[in-house]
Amino acid sequence: MNDPGQIDWSQKNSVVGKPLPRVDAGERVEGTAKYPADMALPGMLHAKTLRSPHAHAKIKSIDTMKAAALAGVKAIVTSGDFHDVPVGATIPMGEAGYDMWMVSVINIARDKVFWVGQPVAVVAATDPHIAEAALALIDVEYEALPAVMSIDAAMAPGAPAIHKHVITTGLEPPAQVPSNVCSRSVIERGNADDAISSAAASAAIDTTIDTGHQGYIEPQAMLAQVDSNGFAMVWAATQGQHTTELMISRMLDRPQSRIKVVPVEIGGGFGGKISIHGEAACVLLSEMTGRPVKMVMSREEVFQGGSGPPAAARHRIEVAAEADGTLTAIKGLYRQDCGGLPGLPPSLMMQASAALYQAPNLHLEGYDVVTNKPRTEAYRGPGGIQAYFAMEQAMDSLCQKLDMDPVEFRKKNAAVTGSTMPIGTPFPSIGLTTILDAVSKHDCWTSPLGEGAFPRGRGFGLGYWRGTSMTSACHISISGDGRPMVTMGSADISGTRTTMAQVAAEQFELSIDDVLVTMGDTKSVGYSDGAAGSRLARTMAAAIVEASDKALAELRTRAGRLLQTEPQTLTYERGVFRAPGAAQGGASISLAEIMQATLTDGAILETGVSTKLPLGVEVAAHVADVEVDTDTGQVTVLRYTAFQDVGRALNPTAVEGQIEGSVVQGLGWALTESFDYGDDGRLRNASMLDFRMPTALDVPPVEAVIIETPVPDVPYGLRGVGEVPIVPVGGCVANAVARAIGARVPQMPMTPERVLKAVKGR
Amino acid sequence: MNPYNYQKAATLADAVAARGQPGTFLLAGGTDLIAQMKSGHRAPVNVVDVKSIPELASVQATGDGGLEIGAAVCASKLAQNDTIRQQHAGLHDSVQLIGSLQIQNRASIGGNVCNAAPSADAVPALIVDAAQARIAGPKGERTIALEDLFAGPGRTTLSEGELLVSIVLPKPDERSASAYLRFTPRREMDIAVVGAAARISVDGNNNITGARVSLASVAPTPIRAPAAEAALVGAPASGATFAAAAIAAQTDATPISDIRGSAEYRRELIAVLVRRALEQCAVRLNLEISQ
Amino acid sequence: MSSSQKVVVTCRVNGEDHTVLADPRDTLLELLRDRLEMTGTKEGCGNGNCGSCTVLADGVAVCACLVLAGETDGLEITTVEGLTANGTRHPVQQALIEHGGTQCGFCTPGIIMSAVALLNEKSKPTDAEIRHAIAGNICRCTGYEKIVRAISSAAETSATARAEV
């Protein structure tokens, strides 16, 4: 074994907290890391998807005869080949479950199509060129229906109802007729209207946020092989192997014991690779042909309805305060565009948007609306950046009216541990005031803005995300050489193998090189929820701590037997158990020696399952300096600093990486990224040229300032990391722009044209 | 993508012969054509690779001090060319804005021209340099002013069987400078919302003796801006002159609204970019500009 | 639909000659990934807009997705697989590991090839030159700063190594 003596084990947290390189970085830089698109099996077929050209239409008939006759085409599936998943079906995931009907419809359209790009048929052929040619030979007869392309159009009186089964919930008296409004959610405390009308100062903003995209660089890809016994193997780039298996199982109505999902490397997910997007079709096609089937989406497919973008929104926020800056009311009207199928009610996002402020009067009212756009899916703190774009601009306007420093204003009104959350329960551990103190002392806030050719502004913005717990499982086996091997039930989308290797190494007091952490397939490790909701590192660490404790206990028992000493009298340090008096030359035994002697008594195999951990809420505060070209409207971000309370940074490099990347994603949406749908429902900019994600030249270096306020009763005090750093970005940049040009830009992205309009209109 | 045949043309005569066949598309850098083939926008029967034809592959001085640029020469080769850097600074600006470095290492100047996109970055820069297009066809060769090559978005005035061989730039005046600027939401990897090229020549009193202004993305083709040019010629090189030319340029354009910008926004940008391009010319001429 | 004539292509990839029969519709990217089974070069967009498929062709960075198989005849191609010699990684590869410059890893091979092309031209690039050199490579995970730091550090490592020779 490597000499763990190089590590100072007298310090608790000797491996945890270190900026170690990723354990899987070598294969990434050498190009040997395998993503599904890189895989090939003998006899493999290539699948391509026929997608709807209509935003809203009835499918009257599908004729695949001509396509099937094309040489090289081996099988074609349409909706009739799949199990009919009923409306309301869910699979277990988190608190509300995951809408299985939605999953089924985003994988294959049934009698109607609800957006351009929705899958209608899938072809498997010997060559991708042939599969593509076959698509053109499939005759689909559609009856076009009127499309509803915006929140306003969907909510307008007399708008055509897209779904017969959608009747607005949360209305009094209960609604009776179909509507494009899925639900109404209200969070109420005190009387916001009265508080606003009697306040010393108030501010309001009415915002519109365009649809964005997660922008993962790896298009969805998957490979399936069904053997002659009907057992299906699926290699997937997924955020959750077990949830993928559950989804395939429900879509095909077959037992999970006949499916194994193997998670392979994933080229970015950010929430967009939780659902399956073709895996079930590949399993069917493989079963029909007896050959492996691979599907790799094109970039155009990813953007043009083949994946779920995050939601467009229209949020109106009004806030009010006493003359001394004491916040008295927040009133919010939230409208979220969930795309072609009903989404999640917006209440979590609404709560999050107001969570960081203590306001005695609240009226938050939210609606989720269906339109004929692709069904939305999650993206880093779903709904958070949109909501905070509105909230932080309203708060900043209020600060301007009060002539108050934005950070001091937040300090005065900050949520603290034990203060009342919007839902009425006391806040768990939250380090907002610590963050605000750090900001007000930091150079990014105290240094002068400097002069440029054009006006400059400095913006401040907060963000909050609750995060979740759900469940994670792992097992640890100790084999003949004493080294612990951890198999996780979750996928690694953010360096989890590295941080979890640090946790395992810490628990066993070994070097990180002496532990192995792998992603298990669904038949080698128990159910875990996916890598989503800022939950994985926290809950998987808890599972590993539990399994490590058990494994060390068993090792101690064996060591006691071998050393003929009462196990509880042994001390354990750096891979060695020592009997009392060992320092004087008494007996000791290493993990390797224990296993050498006892392997034939049986492997050590321990499990850890963690669930319902205390919340580790995420809070971020951002500061941006911008310069605005007032001739063209172009915004240049000069400097960006992101403060975040992570509880404890398992690996500071990994944490910085999450924050820096997330901020740049946020800058993209804040300034240039927008899905531009035509009236016909077709995305007009379905390319990486016209969906403008930032290049290295478009963003400044992002400085991440890590703050550690540990969460009690959670191993290592961990908070979630990956979601919140995108949440403040839109609002923070908007505030910087507003302070530069003296006018508010209420639309996101704040494109040069929109900014120029604000400049001219001031 | 439909099946097609790929072949290489070794000589200009081969290329002209191949060009006469229906469904033949010429390939140099391929950065536009291949993307268009993938999207189904172009469906060739034959793809003829012309980049190794000697006449298309070289940059040479002409007898009268000008420069002849082979149509298949890639953007990054032009960016490295000393004559272009020194005498055709606007062209030098423009070829470094075509896509990414990876694209510039493939994309040819002739492709940028013949793709006939209204947004082509190199075209306004060539037009202000009074570029001539040397064209070969079944009936022999002809030479036209480059601005006469464009018929509409994606369409040229080349006849059946004709191809662009080279672009000929006359030697610029002694005290003359050019510049190309464009506006894009991203710094690179983007398509011009508006592009503006300018060239001015000045006399000993810093009066403008010659001027050309050309615009991209504001009309169905790249265009000259005659009103802007008229506002410049004979006037002193000053901030006021440049501002007047910038406003005049707005009347030269017929912009439309599309996914990259509204007509109104484009009109605003025309004035900004023309003024800034002229200011850049002045900087390159070491002129002190009064307002 | 008539099938097109296949093209025979001979090119040198990572120092080794390959002669393959390709569909004219295949690009260099498909040639590498599907025919030569070198999957280190990735496809992120297929249209030259993301840079994930960047390789060196006769020493310069190009998008393999925008080069037809037929055009590669006679070209000298270097891919990410060709950078690690005798178990020693290129300084850019090593620096990306050490600086946390690779996360999901999908854009990484393309970034590396753009960085190698830069360092072959300029031994001590500024941060602005580095950012310009990788502007054709979209990364969605890192926010770029750790990549810029890595390339800058690799340039210094290379300079030191050269000084020692």
Q: Is the pLDDT confidence value at C7 over 90?
A: no
Q: Answer yes or no: same fold for A4-33+471-609 and A421-467+615-761.
A: yes
Residues from chain B that touch C65, judged by Cβ atoms under 8 A, are 34
Token pair recorded at residue B91: 């062209």
CATH annotation of A421-467+615-761: 3.30.365.10
> Could you tell me which residues come within 8 angstroms of residue B275 by beta carbon, excluding any fewer than 6 positions away?
B242, B243, B245, B246
Q: Is the pLDDT confidence value at A556 over 80?
A: yes
Token pair recorded at residue A699: 């963003």
| B80 shares contact with chain C (CB less than 8 Å) | no
Inter-chain residue contact A690 with B191, CB threshold 8 Å? yes
Residue boundaries of the structural domains of chain A: 4-33+471-609, 42-146+214-306, 421-467+615-761
Work out the minimum CA distance from A264 to partner chain B, whole angstroms: 28
Residues from chain B that touch A689, judged by Cβ atoms under 8 A, are 189-191
Which residue, among A135, A632, A675, would best test binding to B if mutated, counting the most B CBs under 10 Å from its CB? Answer: A632
Token pair recorded at residue A727: 């949440």
Q: Average pLDDT in the A369-396 region?
A: 97
Inter-chain residue contact C47 with A37, CB threshold 8 Å? no
CATH annotation of A4-33+471-609: 3.30.365.10
Ordered by where they begin, the domains of chain B are 1-48 (3.30.43), 176-284 (3.30.390.50)
Work out the minimum CA distance from B273 to partner chain A, whole angstroms: 9
Over the stretch A494-527, which tens digit does the pLDDT of each residue have? Answer: 999 999 999 999 999 999 999 999 999 999 999 9
Over the stretch B27-63, which tens digit does the pLDDT of each residue have? Answer: 999 999 999 999 999 999 999 999 999 999 999 999 9
Q: Answer yes or no: same fold for C7-82 and C91-164.
A: no
DSSP per position, A35-52: -GGG---TT-EEEEEEE-
Inter-chain residue contact C104 with A267, CB threshold 8 Å? yes
- Provide, rounded to the nearest whole percent, the portion of chain A with pLDDT above 70: 98
CATH superfamily of C7-82: Beta-grasp domain (3.10.20.30)
Cis peptide before B170 (omega within 30 of 0): no
Work out the minimum CA distance from B228 to partner chain C, whole angstroms: 33
Inter-chain residue contact C46 with A689, CB threshold 8 Å? no
- CA-nearest residue to C40 within chain A is A31
Q: What is the pLDDT of residue A585?
A: 67
The residue count for chain A: 762
- Provide, rounded to the nearest whole percent, the portion of chain B with pLDDT above 90: 96
Of the candidates C94, C46, B188, C73, which has an alpha carbon nearest to the alpha carbon of residue A28? C94
How high does pLDDT run on average in chain C? 94
| Residue A24 or A343, more confident | A24
Token pair recorded at residue A451: 């002069």
Helix, strand, coil fractions of chain B, as percent rounded to 5: 35, 25, 40
Inter-chain residue contact A29 with C1, CB threshold 8 Å? no
| C20 shares contact with chain B (CB less than 8 Å) | no
| Residue A252 or C157, more confident | A252
Strands across the sheet containing B5-8: B5-8, B46-49, B24-27
Q: Is the pLDDT confidence value at C130 over 60?
A: yes
| B105 shares contact with chain C (CB less than 8 Å) | yes
Task: Identify which of B5, B100, B189 has the shortest CB distance to residue C24.
Answer: B5
Q: What is the pLDDT of residue C3?
A: 52
- CA-nearest residue to C35 within chain A is A40
Q: How far apart are CA B117 and CA B99, in angstroms?
A: 14
Reported confidence tier of residue C2, pLDDT bands at 50, 70, 90: very low
Q: Is the pLDDT confidence value at A324 over 70?
A: yes
Residues from chain C that touch A664, judged by Cβ atoms under 8 A, are 142-144
Query: What are the C-alpha distances in Å from A504 to residues A82, A541, B147?
Result: 43, 8, 69
Reported confidence tier of residue A313, pLDDT bands at 50, 70, 90: very high
Over the stretch C45-78, which tens digit does the pLDDT of each residue have? Answer: 999 999 999 999 999 999 999 999 999 988 999 9
Work out the minimum CA distance from A579 to partner chain C, whole angstroms: 40
Is residue A607 within 8 Å of residue A539, measured between CB atoms?
A: no
Of the candidates C94, C116, C108, C97, which has an alpha carbon nearest to the alpha carbon of residue C137? C108
Residues from chain C that touch B31, judged by Cβ atoms under 8 A, are 48, 63, 66
Outline where DSSP puts E strands in chain B: 5-8, 24-27, 46-49, 59-61, 67-70, 132-137, 140-145, 150-152, 155-156, 163-169, 176-183, 194-202, 208-216, 223-224
Interface ipTM > 0.90: yes
- CA-nearest residue to A755 within chain B is B265
| C159 shares contact with chain B (CB less than 8 Å) | no
Work out the minimum CA distance from C124 to partner chain A, whole angstroms: 18
| B106 shares contact with chain C (CB less than 8 Å) | yes
Residue boundaries of the structural domains of chain C: 7-82, 91-164
Inter-chain residue contact C42 with A663, CB threshold 8 Å? no
| C4 shares contact with chain B (CB less than 8 Å) | yes
Q: Is the pLDDT confidence value at A5 over 60?
A: no
The amino acid sitting at B259 is I
Q: Is the pLDDT confidence value at A648 over 50?
A: yes
- Domain A42-146+214-306 coded CATH 3.90.1170.50: yes
Over the stretch B232-253, which tens digit does the pLDDT of each residue have? Answer: 999 999 999 999 999 999 999 9
Reported confidence tier of residue B9, pLDDT bands at 50, 70, 90: very high
Work out the minimum CA distance from C34 to partner chain A, whole angstroms: 9
Which residue, among C104, C107, C126, would best test binding to A if mutated, counting the most A CBs under 10 Å from its CB? Answer: C104
- CA-nearest residue to B263 within chain A is A753
Reported confidence tier of residue A3, pLDDT bands at 50, 70, 90: low
Q: What is the pLDDT of residue B1?
A: 80
Q: How far apart are CA A621 and CA A350, in angstroms?
A: 19
CATH superfamily of C91-164: [2Fe-2S]-binding domain (1.10.150.120)
Q: What is the pLDDT of residue A1?
A: 56
Q: How far apart are CA A381 and CA A644, in angstroms?
A: 14
Of the candidates A676, A681, A678, A675, which has an alpha carbon nearest to the alpha carbon of residue A52? A681
Query: What are the C-alpha distances in Å from A424 to residues A355, A386, A415?
Result: 11, 23, 13
Least confident of A167-171, C5-9, C87-91: C5-9
Inter-chain residue contact C25 with B189, CB threshold 8 Å? no
Q: Is the pLDDT confidence value at A539 over 80?
A: yes
Question: What do you get for the CA distance between the two ends of chain A, in Å?
Answer: 69
Over the stretch A667-723, which tens digit does the pLDDT of each residue have? Answer: 999 999 999 999 999 999 999 999 999 999 999 999 999 999 999 999 999 999 999
Please give the model's pTM, rounded to 2 decimal places: 0.97
Output phi, psi for C10, to 5 deg. -120, 120
